[in-house]
Amino acid sequence: MKVSTRDFSRFKRLVVKVGSSSLAHSTGKLNLFQFEQLAIQLADLYNQGKEVLLVTSGAIGAGLGKLGIKRRPKTIPEKQAAAAVGQGVLMQMYEKFFAEYGVTVGQVLLTREDFSDRSRFLNARNTLHALLSMGVIPIINENDTVAVEEIKLGDNDTLSALVAGLVDAELLILLSDIDGLYTADPRKEPTATIISEIEEITEEIENLAGGAGSQLGTGGMATKLQAARIAMHSGTAMVIARAGEKNIIRRVVAGEPVGTVFRPGNKLENKKRWIAYSSAVHGKILVDEGAARALLKQGKSLLPSGITAVDGVFEMGNTVSIIGPDGKEIARGITSFSSSEIEKIKGKQTREIEKVLGYKDYDEVVHRNNLVLDI
């Protein structure tokens, strides 16, 4: 692969994500050298006229270090208490190091609700744009002090990809303790080689990811592939690279062949991107083979005749997952009927809707304009 094809130096706006394992030593204490290296490289990009956003992990770990607690807490209140202490520690470090290079930073804490609620989504977008226009580097983390499992994003790989889409970033760099995606687990297979460029996330690529890795915080390579899928559908290039490599951010931006690059694919329009990755899924609609084929092959809307079952309780206007006959999700969309209404009209023809319900506002259960395929 030619180096020129990886030259991202012309890009104006980029998001950098750093994992918790990259910000702390094995003792649990903060890695001050890593903080400084981050600040130097991002401040230098800022001085070049680029707009930079940093998504950071490490609040819980920093809090545990400050509190002198050696074991990772298991309950949500304990994690939230550690995050409350650690968030301040993290920002103090970032403030200190960025200030040395004349850069102002601002803290932004987000939860899944800030993405799933459309008005909050737009408000977060406006806030980040305002910070960038003021010459501030936003430092973003999940709001672990208030998030519970139902509203947690789960890991900052996902958060960073959602942020990249939120601000229309051109490049997302995921810094971790691994070099990129390998053909096999390099810890087990000495002959494993790094995959330098990926244009499509196939089933084969997904199989290489495996599950969550203990060395990668809350997520492993699988979460990074999910982040890549979000980024690619947002028109954003993504690179996975090792945080410990010298000047790694500069080298990625300059086009050096380091890490794994995920090329942006077909960019989803904003509404469909929100449906696919930001909105909360409230339930499932199970469909037969004919309906699945009509959705996937013919680009049709979902009609009641192809629905076999409903799972969950949801209202009109909620986002639902559409499940094929093999039990796999084939699409996601905004429903025009509630779960109780669909329960009554499933398997019926469109012309029968009014007879069954006593009214008919829509022919389609999910219109194709509100439908996203191949999540």
* Pick among 2.30.130.10, 3.40.640.10, 1.10.20.140, 2.60.40.1260: CATH of 280-373: 2.30.130.10
Q: How many CB atoms lie within 10 A of CB 334?
A: 19
Query: Which residues, 6 or more positions from 237, have their beta carbon under 8 angstroms from its beta carbon?
Result: 8, 170, 171, 172, 231, 261, 262, 263, 264
Rounded average pLDDT over 97-122: 90
Rounded distance, CA 139 to CA 39, Å?
Answer: 11
pLDDT digits (tens, 9 = 90+) for 11-70: 999 999 998 888 888 777 888 999 999 999 999 999 999 999 999 988 888 888 888 887
Rounded average pLDDT over 199-226: 69
pLDDT at position 2 is 38
Rounded distance, CA 17 to CA 223, Å?
Answer: 13
Report domain extents, the chain: 3-270, 280-373
Rounded distance, CA 98 to CA 89, Å?
Answer: 14
pLDDT digits (tens, 9 = 90+) for 298-323: 999 999 999 999 999 999 999 999 99
Rounded average pLDDT over 184-191: 80
Q: Which residues pair with 174 in a beta bridge?
A: 17, 240
To which CATH superfamily is domain 3-270 assigned?
Answer: Acetylglutamate kinase-like (3.40.1160.10)
pLDDT at position 60 is 84
pLDDT at position 19 is 86
pLDDT digits (tens, 9 = 90+) for 239-295: 999 998 999 999 999 999 999 999 998 888 888 888 998 888 999 999 999 999 999
